Amino acid sequence: MTTDRIHIIGLRVECIIGINDWERVTKQEVVIDITLHADLTKPGESDDIKDTINYRDISKAVQAHVAASSYGLLEAMARKIATICLEPEAVIRADVSVQKPGALRGADSVGVKISRS
């Protein structure tokens, strides 16, 4: 298995997330970290965007989906984000962390982290 990775860190998106009544109508910020596992040998040698995973495309797809979504649970959001990340054939595994800042009094954030392949 490859040890090559592409990281997208601190992607911030406003969305409907949560199970409380007020959360169903008020957008909140989530912070998303993504690690894409892939063999980056070819793009490392060619220096050609056609040979790699376009992280801009993945970022835009994740942002668009999350901004238009209405999840109750971070777990469900993270699962769908991982599915989006796995769409490019070159992605072997996706690690996704979704944080909800300020979700608990006294804590900076609450979140989930999942890995899918």
Catalytic residue annotation = 100
And the tokens for 77? 């959001």
Distance in angstroms (rounded) separating the CA atoms of residues 106 and 74: 19
Close Cβ partners of 89 (under 8 Å, ≥ 6 residues apart) = none
Distance in angstroms (rounded) separating the CA atoms of residues 80 and 10: 18
Which amino acid does the sequence have at 48?
Answer: D
2 backbone dihedrals φ, ψ, rounded to 5°: -75, 155
59 closest CA partner among 110, 13, 112:
13
